[in-house]
Structure formats: structure tokens, C-alpha cells
Amino acid sequence: MASGVRIQELGVGSQNSGVRSRNSESSQMRRAGRLIPANIAEGFKKRGRADKVRILNIAQGSLEESRYYLILSRDLDYADITSLHQQLEEVSKLLEGYLRAIERSKS
């Protein structure tokens, strides 16, 4: 699934790095990256339009959190984020389109 975003590939703050802030940021980045597809899957299964939109909006929040951590990683010279940023942008556009389609639907 494209929305996996592969946040783990950054390798920021591995457990062997000995730098607590990097470990914390890496952990938060992985968590946010995992929540995007999890919330999309949960929203997909919701029956009501309002529930779908609410859960998918939570996925958008996780996506924005992931975007923040990618930018932070770039700014702190932790990693080259070009590929991951492009993937995140693609997921963002797909998720936005999905939300618009749900909002326009009659059911």
C-alpha cells in the first residue's frame, strides 16, 4: 500500500545511536507513519459518512505529523528525506481525493 510511507527507512536515531532525542524523534516518526494506513483502514470500514470523514481526518493529522518529522530530520541533517517526502506527498493527495469523494457521495 502506498500509504505505508516507509518512515522506518529514515534510520534516524537507531537504538545504537546513544542519542536520546534522536531515539525519541525516531519513535514518534514511526508511530505517526504506522497510524496513517491504520486510520485509513479503519475509516474505510466505517459505515456512516461522518464516521469515515472523522477517522480519515485523523489519518490526515498523522500524515501532517509525519511531514513535520521529515522536515525536522532534513533540517537537523539526520537523513536525506527526498524519496520519503515524495511518497508522503503522494499519499496526502490520494487521501485528500478520497475524502473529497466521500464528502460528495450521497450515502
- In tens, the pLDDT along 4-59 reads 444 444 444 344 443 456 677 788 888 998 999 999 999 999 999 999 999 999 99
pLDDT for res 21: 61
pLDDT for res 58: 96
- pLDDT tier, 106 (very low <50, low <70, confident <90, very high otherwise): confident
The identity of residue 52, as a single letter, is: K
Q: Determine the Cα–Cα distance for residues 64 and 75; give it in Å rounded to an integer.
A: 16
Q: Determine the Cα–Cα distance for residues 14 and 92; give it in Å rounded to an integer.
A: 27
**52-101 tens-digit pLDDT:** 999 999 999 999 999 999 998 899 888 888 999 999 999 999 999 999 99
Q: Grid coordinates standing for 78?
A: 539526520
Which domains can be identified in the chain, with CATH numbers? 2-104 (1.20.1440.60)
pLDDT for res 15: 44
CB under 8 A, 24+ apart: contacts of 50-56: 52/102, 53/99, 53/102, 53/103, 56/95, 56/98, 56/99, 56/102
pLDDT for res 24: 78
